[in-house]
Every structure is written in structure tokens, then in C-alpha cells.
């Protein structure tokens, strides 16, 4: 196997040198080259991951086993006490429920809308690249700017959404005080930002679906709707599952949108005056950076990590089962 490239290289010379005359150390070098260079090339990623991913992860675990004040450091070792407290902490469960609710409210409509959008973009539109680039635009805008604009739209007294609702005779909604209203408002931000992004991923997958399948279905008299659900969607099933996994991980870590939607901002970080829309990461931030309880905050970080891990594993198992069916 390893001889082939050598020959090719030697072959480039004007008069080929017989391989036997090459010094043995060059052969060894070549063997090492082919065997180890790939490792060398992928190593930077793992080094960076080790420093910025693995080390903090382990360090956070260490911190979570202590009574740890943010500024002054470790006060004493407490073992799993932080975790025990976490499991009986109402605010933690509240944050978890909020996170899941926000995740469902934003991911489900987002992926469905993306699917529809991708199907439309897949048809022969005029000015195709314009529309395709356009759907990605919301994703490019800074999340802080998006949150500021949406916070204005969903203002209670002078917000655009409330004045539109007023036109059809609906009383103004206090978007930050009502649990469901706040979840809807925040989800709308997430949906707006990520639908186009997912649509482009779906579009890429749809374009690799063989066109003749569509043609034969059409010839058999299937409607567009039927073709979409019976051919397009099953054909891109692995891609759909990929987006589900990625959205799940993103959704579990939802932070900036709700944090900026909170009028108290980082000063309180409680996600509304009764924690109506406090997510897990917001709770982590509140504990660690406003209350300076780094130990407890690290425990939340680890719980979150484990949760994401479990969800990712479930997703992975589903992916394997469903993708292999296809």
C-alpha cells in the first residue's frame, strides 16, 4: 500500500532511480509520514478542545463539589451537596420546565416552517439565489439586536404587537408578566432567527433527491402534497433528524433571547418577576454571576450537560433506527 505514492513520486524524475538504492531511513520516514501525519493534522482540534472544552468541563465538576464563592474561591469541600440541593430546588425545576416549553414552542414550528420553505425554494423560482440568500438573513443579524427589536415589538404599553391586537379588539397583553405570552414572544424570536437556516439545510438535502422519482409519482397522478409527504420528506429523513438534534442542543441552552427580553436584564436575571421565562442557563447565570455562588452554578452546568447528553443519545438512537429504515 505505502509503496504506491513513492513510485508515483519517483516516476516524476527524468531518469527513474531504482527503489532499492534509496537509503532505508527515507523509507521509514515515508512510512511514518503516511501513518502519523493525519494524526498531526487533526491534533490541533483536539488540543483546542482539551484546553477550552474538556479542561473547563472537568474543572467545573471540581468546583461543583465545593462551597465556592465566585470572587474568593473554594470555601470547603461539600461532595454532592450542591446536587442534592439542586434536585429539591423549585426554581431549578421551574427553569427546566420553562426550557422544555420554550424548546418545544420554538423548535416544532421552526422545523415545520423550514420544511415548507425549503419545498418552496426547491421549485424553479425566478431570482432563486436572492430568495435563498434572503432566508438566511435573520440568522446573520446579531442576536442582541434581534432581542432588542422584539422587546420593543412586544412592549406592553407602546408595543406594535399590542396595538395590532387592539385593532381586532383584543385587550393589550402583558408579554412579560404572563407565562404563556412570554414563552410565545421568546419563541417567535427563536423561530424568526433559525427557520431560514434550517430551510437551507433541508433545501440542500432535497436537491439530492432524484428527480425521476418525482416524475414517476406525478405520472401516477399523485398530488404535490402527496409527493411532498410520501417522497420528499422520507428521502431527507436523516437530515431532518440532524436538525432535530442540533436544535435540541441549542434549545436546551437558550439564554440570550430570554435574558434580553427580561426588562431587568442581567441585573436580576430571573426571567420575569416570578421566573415566568427563566431558562436553565439563565438560572445558572443568576446563581453564579449575580449571587456569586459558583459551586451551585457549576452543579447546574453539569446537570445541564448531562441532560443534553441524554437527549443527544436518545436522538442518536432514534437517528440510527429511522435512518436505517430509509
Partner 1 sequence: MSRTPVGRTKAAAAVAVAAALVTACGGGGGGAGDDKVKLSIGVFSDFGFTNLIKEYQAAHPNVEVEQRTVKMEQHHTQLATQLAGGRGAADIVAIEEGNIAQFRQSKDKFVNLADHGAKELESRWAPWKWNQGTTDDGNFVLGLGTDMGSLALCYRRDLFQAAGLPTERDEVGKLWPTWADYLKVADTFTAATPGVKFVDTAQNVYKAILDQTEEGYFAKADDSFIAGTNEKVADAFELAASLGEKKQTSALTPFSQDWNVALKQASFATTTCPAWALALIKAGAGDEAAGKWDVAAAPGGGGNWGGSFLAVPKQGKHPEEAYELAKWLTAPEQQKRIFKETGNLPSEPAAYKDPEVTATKNEYFNSAPVGEIFGNSAENLKPTYRGTKDAKVTPVFNNALSRVETGKQGTAESFAQAVQEAGDAVK
Cα distance from N-terminal residue to C-terminal residue, the chain: 36
Q: How far is the CB of 281 from partner 1 (least distance, A)?
A: 5
Of 98 and 298, the one with the shorter C-beta distance to partner 1 is 298
Number of residues written out for the chain: 326
Q: How does DSSP classify residue 141?
A: S
Residue 46 binds to partner 1 (criterion: CB under 8 A): no
In angstroms, the CA 94 to CA 250 distance is 19
Of 34 and 266, the one with the shorter C-beta distance to partner 1 is 266
Q: For cell 419545498, what's the residue? A: 119
- Which of 284, 286, 256, 253 minimizes the C-alpha distance to 268? 286
Residue 294 binds to partner 1 (criterion: CB under 8 A): yes
Q: Could you tell me how many residues of this chain bind partner 1 (CB under 8 A)?
A: 54
For the chain, the C-alpha Rg in angstroms (whole number) is 27
Q: For cell 412579560, what's the residue? A: 176
Q: Which of 217, 256, 311, 323 binds partner 1 (CB under 8 A)?
A: 256
Q: Which of 20, 71, 167, 168 binds partner 1 (CB under 8 A)?
A: 71
Decide: 237 and 251 in contact? Cβ < 8 Å.
no
Q: How does DSSP classify residue 229?
A: I
Of 154 and 227, the one with the shorter C-beta distance to partner 1 is 154
Residue 230 binds to partner 1 (criterion: CB under 8 A): no
Pick out residues in 145-164 that bind partner 1 (CB under 8 A): 148, 151-152, 155-158
Residue 304 binds to partner 1 (criterion: CB under 8 A): yes
In angstroms, the CA 124 to CA 132 distance is 12
Contact residues for partner 1, defined by CB under 8 A:
51-52, 55-57, 59-60, 63, 68, 70-73, 143, 148, 151-152, 155-158, 174, 177, 197, 246, 249-250, 253-257, 263-268, 270, 273-274, 281, 284-285, 288-292, 294, 297-298, 301, 304
Amino acid at each position: 500500500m505505502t509503496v504506491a505514492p513513492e513510485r508515483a513520486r519517483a516516476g516524476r524524475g527524468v531518469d527513474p532511480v531504482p527503489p532499492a538504492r534509496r537509503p532505508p531511513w527515507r523509507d521509514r520516514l515515508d512510512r511514518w509520514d503516511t501513518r502519523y501525519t493525519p494524526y498531526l493534522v487533526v491534533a490541533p482540534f483536539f488540543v483546542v478542545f482539551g484546553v477550552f472544552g474538556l479542561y473547563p468541563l472537568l474543572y467545573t465538576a471540581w468546583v461543583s463539589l465545593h462551597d465556592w464563592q465566585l470572587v474568593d474561591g473554594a470555601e470547603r469541600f461539600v461532595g454532592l451537596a450542591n446536587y442534592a440541593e439542586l434536585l429539591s430546588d423549585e426554581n431549578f425545576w421551574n427553569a427546566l420546565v420553562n426550557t422544555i416549553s420554550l424548546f418545544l414552542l420554538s423548535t416544532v414550528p421552526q422545523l415545520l416552517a423550514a420544511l415548507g420553505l425549503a419545498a418552496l425554494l426547491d421549485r424553479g423560482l425566478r431570482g432563486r439565489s436572492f430568495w435563498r440568500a434572503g432566508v438566511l438573513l435573520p440568522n446573520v443579524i446579531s442576536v442582541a439586536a434581534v432581542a432588542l427589536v422584539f422587546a420593543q415589538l412586544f412592549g406592553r404599553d407602546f408595543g406594535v404587537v399590542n396595538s395590532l391586537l387592539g385593532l381586532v379588539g383584543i385587550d393589550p397583553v402583558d408579554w412579560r408578566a404572563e407565562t404563556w405570552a412570554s414563552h410565545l414572544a421568546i419563541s417567535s424570536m427563536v423561530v424568526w432567527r433559525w427557520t431560514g437556516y434550517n430551510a437551507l439545510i433541508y433545501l440542500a438535502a432535497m436537491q439530492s433527491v432524484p428527480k425521476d422519482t418525482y416524475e414517476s409519482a406525478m405520472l401516477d397522478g399523485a398530488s404535490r402534497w402527496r409527493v411532498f409527504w410520501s417522497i420528499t420528506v422520507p428521502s431527507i429523513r436523516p437530515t431532518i433528524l440532524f436538525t432535530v438534534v442540533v436544535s435540541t442542543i441549542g434549545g436546551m441552552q437558550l439564554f440570550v433571547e430570554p435574558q434580553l427580553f427580561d426588562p431587568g436584564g442581567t441585573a436580576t436575571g430571573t426571567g420575569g418577576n416570578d421566573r415566568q421565562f427563566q431558562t436553565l442557563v439563565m438560572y445558572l447565570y443568576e446563581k453564579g454571576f449575580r449571587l456569586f455562588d459558583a459551586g451551585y452554578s457549576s452543579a447546574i452546568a453539569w446537570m445541564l450537560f448531562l441532560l443534553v447528553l441524554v437527549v443527544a443519545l436518545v436522538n442518536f438512537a432514534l437517528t440510527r433506527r429511522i435512518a436505517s429504515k430509509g
